[in-house]
Amino acid sequence: MVEKVVGLPPFQVLVDTHWRDVARLARALAGPVDGDDVAQRAWEKAFAAYPKLTSARNLRSWLLTITARCATDLHRSRRPQSPLDEAPPVQVDGPDAADWPDPDLWKAVNALPERQRVAVTLKYVGDLDHHGVAAALETTPAASRRLVSDALTALRTRLGVDDD
């Protein structure tokens, strides 16, 4: 028998409170075409897991972690399933830069390695702290900081932005 967590709001309250955050992160990670599907999948997974939660702490971070994992699953499902030594290099498309404000920035974000792209998106689009980013990526906060830092350095270089 699953014990009910004290302070856990009804699921609809969770949806009403955080649907915009989930939708925004899904679109940022999966693009405008697949973002709605990723958000829907995240809500389905969250609904299935909700009765089993053992803590009502940081529900937003929990939802955004599920969303990031759903986006990662989508990208992985598009990769070829042949052995790596036989497979030609494949570019996994992220958001279509033309559909976003500042298309040069999003084109540069799309060019980042997957873990850097997800980390920087979780940090600045999802507004997660490094502990939340680390939880979503199943790594440490220190590794999260490094991924975000490396992503920002690569973006600055690619866009020709000075730190001054």
User: Mean pLDDT in the chain?
Assistant: 82
In order, the DSSP letters of 61-103 are HHHHHHHHHHHHHHHHHTS--S-TTTSPP-PPP-S-GGGSSSH
At the top level of CATH, the class of 11-79+95-159 is: mainly alpha
Q: How confident is the model at residue 133 (pLDDT cuts 50, 70, 90)?
A: confident
| Model confidence pLDDT, tens digit, residues 7-58 | 789 999 999 999 999 999 999 888 888 999 999 999 999 999 999 988 888 8
**What pTM did the predictor assign?**
0.61
| Model confidence pLDDT, tens digit, residues 78-116 | 766 555 455 455 444 555 555 566 778 878 888 888 889
For the chain, what are the domain ranges? 11-79+95-159
